[in-house]
Amino acid sequence: MGQTLGKAQIELDAFPFINLPASLVLDLRQAVYDVAEGYGLTLIEVKEIVCISLREYLHIPESKIDEYTQALFDLFNANGPLDTKESLIDSFEFLATICIVSGMRLDEKINFIFDLFDFSDAGQLTANELTLAFRASAAGAMKLS
């Protein structure tokens, strides 16, 4: 029977992106910084980001890259418009969520999210930055379950 409370049911489309090693999560963040033109990510940008940082690790064949990235994009675009050409997903929500479900140690996850939301580079989070970090993390986690 087992415990039912406290166990998240992860969407099948998210499985390839679960338990990524810390080095790949850092590569993913760098790819977002290199590719994205703003704080929102288009489907085309997500495809490029996955190709740059994760394709080799995930062993995604060229013929399946569109399928994988579309599924990942759709998970994070759960409440957005159905036309993915006009849709954007939140890059902070995307990165924070991938971090949360990664194989990083807890202290690495905390440091990653802290650095991600420390917009002022002050070495501390303001109340607004902390609120944004919690909201983005919770919203993204909900979309994967």
For residue range 28-43, list pLDDT tens digits in order. Answer: 999 999 999 999 999 9
Instruction: Specify the pTM.
Output: 0.89
Using one digit for the tens of pLDDT, what is the confidence trace for 29-78?
Answer: 999 999 999 999 999 999 999 999 998 898 888 888 899 999 999 999 97
DSSP string covering 8-32: ----GGGGGGSS--HHHHHHHHHHH
Query: Alpha helices of 8-105 — where are they, by DSSP H?
Result: 22-35, 43-53, 55-58, 65-76, 91-100
